[in-house]
Amino acid sequence: MSKVRVLVGTRKGAFVLTSDGKREKWEVSGPHFAGWEMYHVKGSPADPNRLYASQSSGWFGQIIQRSDDGGKTWHQPGTPPGESPAPGPPRAESNKFVYDTSDESGKPLTTHQWYDGTQHPWEFKRVWHLEPSLTDPDTVYAGVEDAALFRSTDGGQNWKELSGLRGHGTGPKWQPGAGGMCLHTIILDPGNPQRIYIAISAAGAFRTDDGGKTWKPINHGLHSQYIPDPHAEVGHCVHHVAMNPSRPGVLFMQKHWDVMRSNDAGDSWQEISGNLPTDFGFVIDVHAHEPETIYVVPIKSDSEHFVPDGKLRVYRSRTGGNEWEALTNGLPQSNCYVNVLRDAMAVDSLDKCGVYFGTSGGQVYASADAGDSWAPIVRDLPAVLSVEVQTLS
Amino acid sequence: MIRVILPQHLRTLAHAGSELTLEVEGPVTQRSVLDALEARYPMLRGTIRDHVTQQRRPFLRFFACEEDLSHEPPDAPLPDAVASGKEPLLIIGAIAGG
């Protein structure tokens, strides 16, 4: 019997929601790491019991947590729980994210654009997104603020920057969005281990075809009125990018404004906003089995971060964009003013495909029929930052 | 024997109680106490001071003997009462954000 495990990161802790394949009755465990901001929790595709979590705090900084038993117990990598602490140097520094300024890497750029247009040094703040390798449970990527990509190959014990991204040369034109200058999307190409896509607010999308050594901006076709050159190579506030693993060259993007699509691995983009009530939003995801079925949650505007008209509506396109239908069955259709953040939607791989999302109001909604109907798994969690799903056999 | 009181979240991370005791060799300063603390509880590295610059994280404060020592140099001697173990060094989270 299949099982589903939903990993929820919130402003005040993490929660693990589990159900059988019917996805009707749910068990809720948590809060884990109560009181901490949990930006992201994600499981390894190569070992579903291996979970990584980003735990952070304005007071105490960044912590990386790992579970090797599906979320029952957690530890900081390199510092197992229950082991008597001993004097001496630590065996690992799982929360040490230090930007690479070595001669060997060419001393990547150390300033980016600040809100007022002046240059500002890179300062590590937190990990927004953890993306475990598709094949190795001990390899995991971290997208951080200020924007950079790190990789661990020892289960999260030590981290090294893939500095070719910041060394690309456009760094002084990158700038923070309202949430900070974050690298929030990491997509690993299942057919080509050398190819990785990432996205940064507000710089845009980038791709490497050599395992992270060199990167190219992939923003041709994006149009952003809030930068001096609306068609610039970088500077676009990309909110999220999604891909169906069966078609790695086809990408879907929710930008600050505009929903976009690329059929050529990001080399060019076309707008597919079509009949959406507003094309501002944060999340976008793709059906697990139908690569032309995509989901977004339109948000009213960049100055009013809640759903329009007081109605929580997921929009689904079965045609790869442009033609969208509102999905409302089971979702509040009056007096609702929540937001759905960029990493807070995910799909399972059961048949029918399950779709999940979490809101700034603390609700986690699930659909076991590809979006036709919805029900809340939980209603009153802290504000949800991220939702990931594991389909377990 | 040096006594240190951590904020609750750091106690949880360190799997430690409300008050810790540490042996510190040589002069008792902020730096030597934090060195001893991080050596014994390596999971606290980076949570009180920056990994690289060793600067105190901005939202943390150091108090002892009813004094704010946050802005004292890291190598300045801590009060005798802390060095003798009579009084604890308090590591406090700033009251920010309600």
Asked if the Cβ–Cβ distance from A59 to B45 is below 8 Å, we say: no
Q: Are A109 and B64 in contact (CB under 8 A)?
A: no
Give this prediction's pTM. Answer: 0.94
Q: How long, in residues, is chain A?
A: 393
The whole-angstrom separation of Cα A241 and Cα A239 is 7
> From the CA of B89, how many Å to the nearest CA of chain A?
17
The whole-angstrom separation of Cα A251 and Cα A316 is 16
Nearest CA among A4, A2, A53 for reference residue A26 = A4
Instruction: Go through the domains of chain A in sequence order and give each one's CATH number.
Output: 3-77+93-392 (2.130.10.10)
Domain assignments of chain B as residue spans, ordered by start: 2-93
Asked if the Cβ–Cβ distance from A60 to B97 is below 8 Å, we say: no
Count Cβ–Cβ pairs < 8 Å, chain A vs chain B. Answer: 64
| Reported ipTM | 0.89
The whole-angstrom separation of Cα A200 and Cα A129 is 11
The whole-angstrom separation of Cα B56 and Cα B91 is 11
Kindly give the confidence (pLDDT) of every residue in chain A, 393 residues in length, as a single tens digit, with 9 standing for 90 and above: 799 999 999 999 999 999 999 999 999 999 999 999 999 999 999 999 999 999 999 999 999 999 999 999 999 998 655 454 444 444 568 999 999 988 777 677 789 999 888 999 999 999 999 999 999 999 999 999 999 999 999 999 999 999 999 988 899 999 998 889 999 999 999 999 999 999 999 999 999 999 999 999 999 999 998 888 999 999 999 999 999 999 999 999 999 999 999 999 999 999 999 999 999 999 999 999 999 999 999 999 999 999 999 999 999 999 999 999 999 999 999 999 999 999 999 999 999 999 999 999 999 999 999 999 999 999 999 999 999 999 998
Q: Does the structural domain B2-93 have CATH classification 3.10.20.30?
A: yes
Q: Which residues in chain B are closer than 8 Å to A84, comparing Cβ atoms?
A: none
The whole-angstrom separation of Cα B21 and Cα B1 is 6
Q: Are A265 and A207 in contact (CB under 8 A)?
A: yes
> From the CA of A60, how many Å to the nearest CA of chain B?
4
